[in-house]
Homo-oligomer: A and B are copies of this chain.
Amino acid sequence: MSDHVYKKVEITGSSSVDMEDAIKNAVNKCSSTIKNMDWFEVMDTRGHIKDGKVAHWQVTLKIGFRLD
């Protein structure tokens, strides 16, 4: 039970709303193909500027999940 092994994948989510939403979009996208997602770590936060305003929030995260 105790000697689990985990894999981490690096994902960039984007959103026009805010940083939390960019993270949720990334996690949501992965949930369709990855089982047993357990945690995420924010690596990097960026964004796109258009016409002098923030147009998109882009957050890169590592998502850790348990290998069966």
Complex CA gap A18/B21 in Å reads: 10
Assuming the A-B contacts A11-B7, A29-B5, A31-B52, are A23 and B47 also in contact, with contact meaning beta carbons closer than 8 angstroms in the complex? Answer: yes
Q: Is the interface of A mostly helix, strand, loop or mixed?
A: strand
Cα(A20)–Cα(B27), bound, Å: 19
What per-residue 1/0 map shows which CB atoms of A20-50 lie under 8 Å from chain B? 1001111111110000011111101111110
Report, as a range, how many residues of chain A touch the other chain.
35 or more
CA distance A52 to B64 in the complex (A): 12
Chain B residues, CB < 8 A from A53: 24, 27-28, 31
* Structural contact, A63 and B49, CB atoms closer than 8 A: yes
Q: How far is the CA of A47 from the CA of B27 in the complex (A)?
A: 11
